Amino acid sequence: MADKAKRHHMKLVPHFKTAQSHQVGEWAKEYGIREITVSSIKMAEYFCGQGWENIHIAFPFNPLESKKLNELAKHQSISVQLINEAVTEKLAKELENPVGFFIEIDAGYGRTGVEVTDFGLIEAILRKAKSSDKLKFKGFYLHPGHTYYTEDKNKIYDESRAALNMLKNKYRTEYPHLVTRVGDTPGCSVIEEFGDIDEMGPGNFVFFDMMQVHLGSCKIEEVAVALAVPVVDIKKERKEILIHGGGVHLAKDVLTEPDGTKNFGEVVYLTEEGWTIPLQRSFLKSISQEHGIIKASDELLAKVKVGDVLGILPIHSCMTADCMGSYLSLSGEKIDHAEAEK
């Protein structure tokens, strides 16, 4: 992803809601990463003091957290996302330290953000921000999250490029240093035309997962995290294996098999060096809070016994990592995760 950003003369500002790890952050610095994105003020707090040039909170800012934002901004360059006048006005009145802001734009996803053609609201936010010397406009942020639901990612990126280009042209006379940022792993993985977008901020690409395999963002061999689960029972006659691994470990993200069966994760064989992908597929067909039931292939049934540990490639690696609260590297090193400090 760093190579792709460089090819397109863009800055890579990865979203650390996926990894949530100081150690992974240090690895990212080896690729020239100097700024990161997070999804909450709690996560921003976790990454403060780690040498980042800026930490951006890519979630519509919660006005109840303005006091905490003030505290963080004393020692860390930080930016937030604004989508309405009320929060902008509150920050303009209450900020004591400089904070940057992006205006989040909705160009078709429909989750959050200012409609791309709602210039009245965009300009109202900018006016409110000007009433304070502490709020600094950085640019426009767009998350085309509908790339997760649509095969035609090129069409979505055509719309995203056009939206951000239009806004840049409209406002850069008054704000010559404004930047535009786009962030989603499916698009950033496969698109090769970004136009004049300045920055990309995907997150899930750090690990990938079975959802990204399903979307065509990566191959199954590129998924970089697996949940280790113990086998507690085997029902050969039903071709089922019971594991200790359920919703509290994986969350409940799911894919649907061609026959309508639910898939909560793909089985791999753990090895000393990592894991191998079976020739015959087996997958987690159902989960409850702690239990998981694998729909087992003949190959797996012949190979596994009670007490063995299998690997599950998660449907959504961000959620699985968040549930587990830590990582274990292939060399046996424990890797930190923000949620370990609950």
pLDDT level of residue 9 (50, 70, 90 thresholds): very high
Matching residue, tokens 């490639």: 313
- 248-258 average pLDDT score: 94
Reported as a single tens digit per residue, the pLDDT across 147-189 is 555 666 678 778 888 999 999 999 999 999 999 999 888 888 8
Phi-psi region of 144 (alpha: psi -120 to 50; beta: other; left: phi over 0): beta
Kindly list the domain boundaries of the chain, sorted by start residue. 2-206, 220-341
- The pLDDT value recorded for residue 157 is 79
Please identify, in words, the CATH class of the domain defined by 2-206.
Answer: alpha beta
pLDDT: is 107 or 146 the higher one?
107
pTM for the predicted model, two decimal places: 0.92
Residues 6+ apart with CB under 8 A from 197: 10, 160, 161, 164, 165, 180, 181, 182
Rounded-to-10 torsion of CA 214, 215, 217, 219: 20
Architecture label for domain 220-341: Beta Barrel (2.40)
Please state, for a pLDDT cut of 70, what percent of the chain lies above it.
Answer: 96
What is the four-CA torsion angle of 17, 227, 264, 298, rounded to 10 degrees? 160
CA torsion sign, 34 to 225 to 5 to 153?
Answer: negative
